[in-house]
Chain A
Amino acid sequence: MDNRWSVYGKTFESRFLIGSSLYPSPQVMRDAVQASGAEIITVSLRRQSPERGGGDTIWDFIKQMDCTLLPNTAGCHSVKEALTLAQMSREIFQTHWIKLEVIGDEYNLQPDPIGTLEAARQLIKQGFEVFPYCTDDLVLCQRLRDAGCQVLMPWGAPIGTGRGLINPYALQTIRERLPDVSLIVDAGLGKPSHAVQAMELGFDAVLLNTAVAQAADPVLMATAFAEAISAGRKSFLAGAMPQRQTAKPSTPTLGTPFWHQEGVDAS
């Protein structure tokens, strides 16, 4: 089964994108990333005084992990901040890729749809390949695609909440209406079962950080998510049976006396 997927001209085996923050130690981060099998890892420059080389040691460590780096603009609250940080990231990490986050609400870190769209347009003009973190609004997703984003990253739930897919209907609609865009559920997943659900909706990949980094055993949880994402993808490809209201036996009941057929178990 060819399970590869592509984004901005690069092809990947793993459908798990993983974040590099909040782990108990860099060592645990490296072990968890290895266990996850992820080929793309997000990195954040925010607050590290990159202009003074403040984060060099940790970035060198991350670079050694031999993953494709996806720098993000986490913590930016305005278009201007996001653009500045994207340019700095391009210089430091030598990549046109940028995970765009423009935060609209300080408390639940909800993305600002208007700012995100504007920043995406400007970044694309400047030659960036943009991975926008956005809400699950269909029209916003369409506008981001029209602006030139080849991948969209709607949230499952607010960052770090671990609530799973709070609006599966909206995510499913985006998948159905934008069949040609790569879709990644970004943020809000807490358990591997949430990842299965996202992949079963036909999403191309899943991006998460906190659910692994803050688990009691991050390395084991990374493995669990990797298996869940793989299971969810296979389930999507296999085509799940439709749900039914009544039980339908998988063993033929011909020959069973009719008074035994009432309420028979699906077995």
Chain B
Amino acid sequence: MNIGIAGAGLIGRLLAWQCLRAGHSVSLFDRDTIDGEGSAARVAAAMLAPYSEAAHCPREIFDWGVASMALWPRLIRQLHQDTGINVQLEQNGSVVVAHIRDTGELDNLMQLLGTKLPEHQAQITLLDQPALASLEPSLAGRFEQGIFLSGEGCLDNWALLDALADAIDSLGGEWHAAVSVDNVQPGQLDVEGQPISFDCVIDSRGLGAKPNQPGLRGVRGEVLWVHAPEVSLTRPVRLMHPRYQLYIAPKPQQRYVIGATEIESESMQPITVRSSLELQSALYSIDTDFAEASILKAYANCRPAYVDNLPRIDVEEGLISVNGLYRHGYLLSPLLLQLALDSLDGQVEHPVVRQQSSMQEGIAR
């Protein structure tokens, strides 16, 4: 099949790569450059955190997230076969902490997870100071307790995005960077004013698909990437606070991401001073060794979300749209990738997937 993909963020790249692997011919179009600097996928901290997300997200995110996370190792192995690049995937759990004045937030989280995930309590452990010290020694000086979520992790998304670009190139994908896709319709992409026909078109433009996806909105997030050679955190750390939850995700080469703010706004302006102060003070409060870290990047971008904050695959003859991954892109993308690939081959039964007929019924209701 001759497939045209609009949008080369995380989902666009994954789909292009897997379609090539399946023997299809693929053209990928994106307004961004190949490094993906303007993509929400580049900005993300790439947390794989179904448990802590379950506290304030619909239950589906947890169920789909756990199923999806299990698909990452095979994808990472395939990517290694295709490119020789070993993308770091950590699945050693994460740690949640709160400062002494906010320890009530830890109790709240334990209580919420107890209510929402009663059958998964084995993966949720309250840590006293010695237990915390044995997991993450640098946290123990500052925090007296924490929560260990053994089923969580994170991955090195910069390396992943680069490796996917390599894989697409080496498998013969055609990448049209820095072009604008004006319209997407079944079997056709309008690129820079020129209609191009395909057997099937995939729309994975994220917020860029808003003209075709009423109800899609952007939720602004801001993150900092820092280089902190003096810091020795090995797992993602989530800092609970009465008003915001921030996480620090360790990346290779002593880099850490701190994020992300969550603002109901579609502003793409650079990070604000207020957000930057909040993120930096959170870093410093977790470990004072962050004081000497270099700030590599300060990003602001918008996550694409539907009104229920759940992802969706819309399927009709000649067009598959994958969107609304919100703050769960890296968690959910393997599952959505699988469902989208299956949808290319035939009808798929899954709550995420809406066939055109059921979409029309939805409108009629």
Contacts and interface: CB of A to CB of B under 8 A. Distances in A.
Interface of A: 24-28, 30, 47-49, 52-58, 61, 107, 160-161, 214, 216
Contacts of B56: 24, 214
A160 B243 contact: yes
Contacts of A53: 266
Contact of B272 (A47, A58, A161, A216): A47
Q: Which 10 A-B residue pairs are closest in the complex by CB-CB distance? A: A54-B267, A49-B267, A54-B265, A25-B309, A48-B265, A57-B217, A27-B308, A58-B264, A27-B307, A216-B115
A21 B221 CA distance: 16
Contact of A55 (B264, B309, B310): B264
A78 to B, nearest CB: 14
B360 interface: no
Contact of B265 (A27, A49, A216): A49
Contacts of B264: 48, 55, 58
Contacts of A216: 112, 115-116
A65 to B, nearest CB: 12
Contacts of B307: 25-27, 30, 61
A49 B217 contact: no
Contact of A27 (B115, B263, B309): B309
A47 B263 contact: yes
B266 A56 contact: yes
B57 interface: yes
B220 interface: yes
B195 interface: no
A49 B116 contact: no
B242 A54 contact: no
Contacts of A61: 217, 307
A55 B309 CA distance: 16
Contacts of A30: 307
B218 interface: yes
A57 B216 CA distance: 9
Contact of B217 (A58, A107, A214): A58
Interface of B: 56-58, 101, 112, 115-116, 217-218, 220, 242-243, 263-267, 269, 272, 274-275, 305, 307-310
A237 B337 CA distance: 60
B267 A48 contact: yes
Contacts of B305: 25
Contacts of A54: 220, 265-267, 269
B325 to A, nearest CB: 14
B58 A25 contact: yes
10 contacts: A24-B56, A24-B57, A25-B58, A25-B310, A47-B275, A54-B266, A54-B267, A58-B217, A107-B101, A216-B115
A133 to B, nearest CB: 16
A124 to B, nearest CB: 29
Contacts of B58: 24-25, 28
Contacts of A57: 217-218, 266
B242 A49 contact: no
A160 B242 contact: yes
Nearest to A210: B242
A30 B272 CA distance: 29
B269 A52 contact: yes
B140 to A, nearest CB: 25
A53 B266 CA distance: 8
Contacts of B115: 216
Contacts of A27: 307-309
Nearest to B113: A216
A19 to B, nearest CB: 13
Nearest to B243: A160
Contacts of B272: 47
B311 to A, nearest CB: 12
A223 B348 CA distance: 37
A110 B305 CA distance: 33
Residue among B57, B218, B307 having the largest count of chain A Cβ atoms under 10 Å: B307
B114 to A, nearest CB: 10
A26 B310 CA distance: 11
A57 B269 CA distance: 17
A28 B309 CA distance: 9
Given A24-B309, A54-B220, A58-B217, 5 more contacts: A48-B267, A49-B267, A49-B269, A53-B266, A214-B56
A229 to B, nearest CB: 24
Contacts of A28: 58, 308
A62 B220 CA distance: 18
Contacts of A26: 217, 307-309
B103 to A, nearest CB: 14
A48 B263 contact: yes
Contacts of A25: 58, 305, 307-310
A53 B218 CA distance: 12
A113 to B, nearest CB: 22
